Amino acid sequence: MKSHIQSLLEQTVATLKQQGLIPEETAPRIQVDRTKDKSHGDLATNLAMMLTKAAGKPPRELAQLIIDNLPASSHVAKVEIAGPGFINFFIDDSALAKQLQAALADEHLGVSLPKSQTVVVDYSSPNLAKEMHVGHLRSTIIGDSVVRALEFLGHKVIRQNHVGDWGTQFGMLLAYMEELRAQNGENANLELSDLESFYRAAKLRFDESAEFATRARQLVVELQSGDEYCNKLWREFNDISLSHCHDVYQRLGVSLTRADVHGESAYNDDLEQVVKDLDAQGLLSESNGAKVVFQEEFRNKDGEALPVIIQKADGGYLYATTDLAAMRYRSGTLHADRALYFVDLRQALHFQQVFSLARTAGFVRPEMTLEHMGFGTMNGEDGRPFKTRSGGVVKLVDLLDEANVRALELVRSKNPDMDEDTLAEIARVVGIASVKYADLSKNRASDYIFSFDQMLSFEGNTAPYLLYAYTRVAGIFKRAEDVDLSNAVIALEHDKEKELGNKLAQFGEILARMVDKGQPHVLCGYLFELAGAFSSFYEACPVLAADNETQKHSRLLLSQLTAKTLKQGLSLLGIETLERM
Ligand code: ARG
């Protein structure tokens, strides 16, 4: 409905231009907002105030002109001028009811699809040298839910798992793998089942044995020169490490596949060219033997220029060099309209620098956007970065195991008589959903405190609350299985029906905002409000015990659309629903 009003206003602006009332070149950003107080209508715009300067007329007078030229619409029951020149729209209830009825029959739940874009989404992107840890959790689940919403809206999404699969630390790891194999044969692969301790053991060998360290350095050189044996070793190592990641993805219900892996090593052959191109454009400077780029706008707090290092004195390339190559690939080969990066906010400066450099160097098409969707740190209940009791990094798998154990306790306490298999399945869903939802429901830019107690609570904006709300709505149908709804019609009479109807109609604009800003918490907040609107409706408006069949049918349809919207919304967050819990 919001976009409908927006398009009515766009047409009106065009008419005013034709009439010479506002200059041809004015291009106001037409904003339509939902009103808080429904006695002022459902939607409002400040367009008259925005145009008052261009038109040289006072806002209230202009507001009247806009109203006079507004195309007729059956969706608008009444339009009013308010305050200094706001225009308030009252939405026609029967038009809204028809819109909801149509949504019910539509696979996109009535959401109007925007012009389709190609969107590259860089997310998860762990370093393969080590075990995936909680720091990668946020990137993986926030990125995956934005990906799902983009696809639902009809965009072409290209997932890019930009894994760290290259760099000097691989020399050390390969040398250790080689050593273990010489001792234990293929059994050595077993050692890799715990990458974290494998890494530590390799590091220990590197520090204690000069001979080992020399071999490690030699392997780096051989790896880079494409040596067959060394590359095979490297591929085997990465393959094992990646399989750990994919176990986690599968468990989390994340949509990344092996085909989405396009790691740092994929750009090796392009790096030399990146340096040449920067050089040809006169962008490179020399700093202690390294090749760097200084950009005017990047300085530290003492005003000193901050360089982007492109190539080290020893010829090695850096993280930034690879990102430049990746941007060129995403623009030139993948033809992205947007490239989104779900990466820790601590890398904000890195992205500002390489984005700006890629533009200056012409590595990306001017119309392609580069968007760092940064996120804050996940902290423990002490407010400090999340660690194990002994101070080590928490492995993702261990975290999920604990969530599962706690969810099982919770579900069992609510259902003492349930059989073990059912309990286990419900606990699996609730455990994963709680971890994901706790993260997704916070504004990604803020740090947040990871708390099992909070995320597994049935109160507030949590996964258990929403999953339970869904089972309640779905439960109404179980009791109304034999009702024939084929001729049922939605009518919005009671205030609570109208409020619920209005909420339901917002699904599309919420999704548009979520993918535009890369903010799943917008969808979480919406689903929480929707569940609340349904509760109030259900309290005030008996469904199965309605006054008459027509009313009962209408209310059943409203419940059905609520259930579908909750389920679809949760699924875009990557969360499974349950029929009972
Ligand atoms: N592997 C990096 C890390 O763990 C994240 C990579 C993000 N993507 C990128 N294009 N730089 O910090």
What 3 state SS string does 396-459 have?
Answer: HHHHHHHHHHHHHHHHHHHCCCCCHHHHHHHHHHHHHHHHHHHHHCCCCCCCEECCHHHHCCCC
- CA 162 to centroid of ligand 1, rounded, Å: 6
Query: Look-up: residue for tokens 């780029």?
Result: 293
C-alpha to C-alpha distance for 571 and 552, rounded to whole angstroms: 28
Tens-binned pLDDT, residue by residue, of the chain (581 aa): 778 899 999 999 999 999 998 999 988 899 999 888 888 889 999 999 999 998 899 999 999 999 999 999 888 999 999 999 999 999 999 999 999 999 999 999 999 999 999 999 999 999 999 888 777 899 999 999 999 999 999 999 999 999 999 988 899 999 999 999 888 876 767 777 788 889 999 999 999 999 999 999 999 989 988 899 999 999 999 999 999 999 999 999 999 999 999 999 999 999 999 999 999 999 999 999 999 999 999 998 898 999 999 999 988 899 999 999 999 999 999 999 999 999 999 999 999 999 999 999 999 999 999 999 999 999 988 888 887 777 777 778 888 999 999 999 999 999 999 999 999 999 999 999 999 999 999 999 999 899 999 999 999 999 999 999 999 999 998 888 889 999 999 999 999 999 999 999 999 999 999 999 999 999 999 999 999 999 999 999 999 999 999 999 999 999 999 999 999 999 999 999 999 88
Q: Which atom of ligand 1 is found nearest the CA of 136?
A: 4
Ligand 1 in contact with 353 (CB < 6 A)?
no
Residue closest to 380 by CA, chosen among 432, 459, 454: 454
Which of 89, 78, 93, 9 has its CA nearest to residue 44? 89
Q: Taking each helix axis as running N to C, give the angle between helix 2-18 and helix 507-517, from 0 to 180 degrees, rounded to the nearest 10.
A: 80
Q: Among 256, 321, 340, 347, say which to mutate for ligand 1: greatest number of ligand atoms within 8 Å of CB.
A: 347
Measured in Å, residue 177 CA sits from the centre of ligand 1 at: 25
Contact criterion met (CB below 8 Å) for 412 and 423 = yes
In angstroms, the CA 167 to CA 316 distance is 9
CB hemisphere CA count around 421 (13 angstroms): 0
Ligand 1 atom at minimum distance from 163 CA: 1
* Residue 514 near residue 524 (C-beta atoms within 8 A): no
Distance 305 CA to ligand 1 centre (A): 24
The finding on whether 496 has its CB within 6 A of some atom of ligand 1 is: no
Q: How far apart (Å, rounded) are the C-alpha atoms in residues 507 and 518?
A: 16
Q: Which protein residue has the closest C-alpha to ligand 1 atom 5? A: 125
Which neighbouring-strand residues pair with 294? 307
- Nearest-atom number in ligand 1 for the CA of 344 is 12
d(CA 124, CA 61): 54
pLDDT at res. 184: 81
How many A from CA of 355 to the centre of ligand 1? Answer: 14
For ligand 1, whether the C-beta of 122 sits within 6 Å is: yes
Q: Whose CA is nearest to atom 6 of ligand 1?
A: 125
> Closest Cα to residue 160, out of 384, 31, 36, 327?
327
Cβ of residue 556 lying under 6 Å from some atom of ligand 1 = no
Please answer whether residues 128 and 90 qualify as being in contact, where contact means their C-beta atoms are separated by less than 8 angstroms: no
pLDDT at 248: 92
CA of 260 to the centre of ligand 1 (A): 14
- Classify residue 521 by its DSSP letter: H
137 lines ligand 1 (CB under 6 A): no
Please name which of 70, 85, 95, 93 lies closest in space to residue 6, comparing C-alpha atoms. Answer: 70
Which of 133, 162, 373 maximizes ligand 1 atoms within 8 Å of its Cβ, making it the mutation to test the pocket? 162
Ligand 1 centroid distance, CA of 359 (Å): 20
For residue 354 and ligand 1, the question of a CB distance below 6 A is answered with no
Residue 264 beta carbon below 6 angstroms from any ligand 1 atom: no
Determine the distance separating the centroid of ligand 1 and the alpha carbon of 358, expressed in angstroms.
17
Query: Residue 347 in contact with residue 323, Cβ under 8 Å?
Result: no
Ligand 1 atom showing the smallest separation from residue 164 Cα: 1
127 lines ligand 1 (CB under 6 A): yes
Give the integer Cα–Cα distance in Å for 36 and 42. Answer: 8
**What string of DSSP letters covers 30-68?**
--EEE-SSGGG-SEEE-HHHHHHHHHTS-HHHHHHHHHH
Query: What does 129-149 look like in DSSP terms, one character per residue?
Result: TS--BHHHHHHHHHHHHHHHH
Q: Which pair of structure tokens corresponds to residue 405?
A: 């154990």
- Ligand 1: residue of 122, 125, 242, 330 to mutate (most ligand atoms within 8 A of CB) is 125
> Is 233 in contact with 177 (CB distance < 8 Å)?
yes
Q: Which structure tokens are listed for 429?
A: 């869903």
Ligand 1 centroid to 127 CA: how many Å? 8
Q: What pTM value is reported for the model?
A: 0.93
CA of residue 539 to ligand 1 center, whole Å: 49
Q: Ligand 1: distance of its center to the CA of 293 in Å?
A: 21
- Does 162 contact ligand 1 (Cβ within 6 A)? yes
| Centroid of ligand 1 to alpha carbon of 244 (angstroms) | 18
What would the two tokens of residue 242 be? 């990646």
Measured over the CA atoms of residue 413, residue 414, residue 419 and residue 422, the dihedral's sign is negative
Pairwise CA distance, residues 496 & 504, whole Å: 12
| ipTM for the whole complex | 0.99
CB atoms within 10 A of CB 235: 12
Sheet with strand 290-299: strands edge to edge: 285-287, 290-299, 305-311
pLDDT score recorded for residue 191: 75
285 alpha carbon to ligand 1 midpoint, in Å? 25
Q: Buried (b) or exposed (e) across 341-363, using 16+ Cβ within 10 A?
A: bbbbbeeeebbebbbbbbeebeb
Separation of alpha carbons 476 and 395, rounded Å: 41
Specify which residues 78 forms β-bridges with.
90
DSSP codes of every residue in 292-306: EEEEEEEE-TTSPEE
Q: Is 51 exposed, middle or buried (0-12, 13-18, 19+ CB in 10 A)?
A: buried
531 CB less than 6 Å from ligand 1?
no
Token pair for 312: 């080290």
